Amino acid sequence: MSFLINGASYTYGDGLDDPKEHAWPILFGRKIGAQITNLATRGASVDYVIYTTMKYLSANKYDNVIIAWPALRRTLMVRRDNNFLVNGNPTMSNALYGDTKEYKEYLSLHYRYWSNDLFDLKLTLQKILMFQEYLKNKSYNYLFINSDSYNLSNWLQLTKLPINDKIIYLDAFDSMNDVQIAAEELEIKNIYDQFDLTNYYQPTNFSLSDACVQLKLLDPGTKHPSIEGQRYLADFIANLWSTN
């Protein structure tokens, strides 16, 4: 039995001395006796996860797929002169190009003028929905879980949020009226209602990061799951998979 697993830093095992030995996908594989390929990387974007997963599925045979969806607002780019994949984010931290002038300047402009939470959420939901349909069409066994919270419970009731919360969620709040906000809520609901939630674990109110925070399973220095946290995630996901 083989698994292809993908995600961001929680799934990669960021902060561990040896991620290839102690990240939850590896522990999960040992627990259920399965062969694991872990494609996760630090700072991964949703686009990175979809691109690399489809690339590997097209070239290799796997029985099962587990995706721990990364945080919103991360951008997949390719370096023109060397074809390297680069994941950018609002903090502009990146191992390859984080200190280069062009990287900082580009992302600074991108996140200041050409990106907002609302559109990133809607586009991300569309991508996850289409990827879910792809996996179902190919008859893969799969499990989706959010690594970071998308705060979907709030997005699905935008019109009912207090004004101060609307301002937090809607960067363009000052230019939107009540009719436009209601239309955005409906658009999000229409996408969400198309998800098959059978194999997507509680996307409105659960994330791996929230669970680790609540259970105090983060390493204080790295802000990522400790070895105990990785063991918890492995056991948690093994239990989910057994009931999947």
The residue ranges of every structural domain in the chain are 2-73+115-150+197-242, 75-111
Shortest CA distance to 74 belongs to which of 38, 127, 26? Answer: 127
The pLDDT tens digits for 65-80 are: 999 999 999 999 998 9
Domain 2-73+115-150+197-242: which CATH class? alpha beta
Cα torsion angle, 215, 217, 221, 223, sign: negative
How much is the pTM?
A: 0.95
98 pLDDT more than 80: no
Residue 188 near residue 126, CB atoms below 8 Å: no
Question: Residue type for 59, please?
Answer: A
Mean per-residue pLDDT, 10-28: 96
Q: Which two tokens stand for residue 35?
A: 């062969």
Mean per-residue pLDDT, 160-165: 96
Mean per-residue pLDDT, 155-173: 96
The beta strands (E) that lie in 58-114 are given as 64-69, 75-78, 85-88
**Beta 85-88 vs 75-78: how paired, if at all?**
antiparallel
Mean per-residue pLDDT, 80-101: 86
pLDDT score of 66 = 98
Shortest CA distance to 158 belongs to which of 203, 138, 188, 128? Answer: 188
